[in-house]
Structure 1
């Protein structure tokens, strides 16, 4: 009875499909483990998805560098060799020097040739685009200038020629003069406002010019004053010497400044003085 069960189990485990030699070598986890009929007509090949994006190619001959394809630029970017190989007693070293010089000469020639060829290619591409655009414009103009087809003229409704609108007819703007006058006045107002702001900026610059740093000596003196060698008396407090700006405390925040104007009488006095100064500037029309 046990022999019958073993034979039945063996029959159940046997696969009911055929496998080739390739499928026999493939494991159960491979998609080729089971042979599936293939279609006769192959499907379209799937284009592989390329990850990332290509960078924008750099403009080799920009508009601001018109001297690039000139012989002077080529001579400046690849100057001729001025040194000669040293007459060393070591033949190996002399051969290495000669090889390096040949490679340098080859790089110079390749650079000059590549710049010339690229410039010719760019000119050819620009001429192709220009000729194509010119031909398209000429074709469009010929289509616009051609007479009306005879079949359309004979089959269109009968209308008196005097009643037909000419080709250059356009609707007149009834409020054109009023709109232009309003635009002109608005432009003049903006120009006057801009000029007034410019004059105010110039006056402010004149009033504050005495505190500007215009020379290297003034800059050096200011740096030495703010960052002196050794201890700085301006950074000294009751507990620590003036070796660090953090001795004066953390910088003020907006909230601390607002609260200080409420608590300190000196701060309120400074705010009042600033407001009076701004009021005087508005009355006199200049900086104080």
Structure 2
């Protein structure tokens, strides 16, 4: 038995302390000038940041030759026996038509020379190989299809058996017990008035839709009436600006106020507006709200009498 070789150290620190680790010495200068500009391996000196600066021995397993991957792809195999007419290839008529005999062989004439006899022998071998190959491929395909069908049937039967299997004993014994009376009490019974409730809900929805449609028509009519005073030209805009931004604007309103804040007061807050809309809060006793409600009532009466829509003056 040959002596075993000493195993080199695997750790970097232990390998660095051995004699195997050494700096790559700088080779001496060559007296002969090289004609090539590419440095030879003996002339290369590795910098300290190179992994080859310190020679570390490798274990025998890492020195195995790893072949590069072969790029490319295998061609798609031909379907020798297609779905339509593929079974006819395995029959004797197809093989006989694919490998016909020569006219001399059909007439039963002997070969005229040794070369012709050799050709006839090679042709017979080719006919035999073609027949055996077709029949072998057909049997292999049938065996493969039978395996796939058997596997599919086994999976279907297995899944059906698992789906229709009775309850296991451990599940039946560990399942919580529910009394029959409790099961009847906790079950949700259908509402006996569900159809009447559906009819009432439908009527309520139709009534709300009619109210929304009527409010939409009223808003459109008010917009049409208010559009008479809309500013649509630059001349109207200039006249309105001159009317509002005069020095004696507030004096003409019958008040000694000097600005809009003193005339109308501070604008309403968001909280007060929400209280007015919802009908809750301290705004119920506000006199301005009562006046607004009275103006709205007068507007509704005037609309009923005139048969048209009116717009409440913001002033």
* TM-score after normalising by structure 1: 0.40
Q: Rg larger in 1 or in 2?
A: 2
Q: TM (normalized to structure 2)?
A: 0.37
